[in-house]
């Protein structure tokens, strides 16, 4: 009976989705990060400029 618990745990780990394997939810976020930029909720840091939006316009894409 104990083997069933171990078997269930192994099957659960095998079918678990790998992080980052899914398609990005927002295309603008993927585009921002592919250019080497990052997303931020508030204003960009002083040496960075806002170059677009992320998460469907909720965040700013900050670039050097």
Question: Is 3 contained in some domain?
Answer: no
- 58 touches 31 (CB < 8 A): no
Query: According to the model, what pLDDT value does residue 11 have?
Result: 81
CA distances from 47 to 11, 27, 29, 42, 63 (A): 48, 25, 21, 14, 9
Question: Is 48 contained in some domain?
Answer: yes
3-state secondary structure of 39: strand
Model pTM score: 0.58
pLDDT per residue over 3-58, tens digit each? 888 888 888 777 775 565 555 678 888 899 998 999 999 899 999 999 999 988 89
Question: Is 13 contained in some domain?
Answer: no
Query: According to the model, what pLDDT value does residue 18 have?
Result: 58
Q: Domain tally for the chain?
A: 1
Phi, psi of 29 (to 5 degrees): -70, -45
Domain that residue 52 falls in = 20-63
User: Would you state the structure tokens that stand for residue 42, as one six-digit string?
Assistant: 């508030």
Cα–Cα distance for residue pair 26/33, rounded to 1 Å: 11
């Amino acid at each position: 009976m104990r083997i069933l618990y171990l078997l269930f745990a192994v099957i659960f780990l095998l079918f678990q989705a790998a992080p980052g394997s899914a398609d990005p939810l927002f295309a603008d976020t993927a585009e921002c990060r592919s250019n080497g930029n990052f997303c931020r909720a508030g204003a960009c840091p002083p040496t960075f400029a806002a170059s677009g939006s992320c998460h469907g316009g909720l965040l700013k894409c900050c670039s050097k």
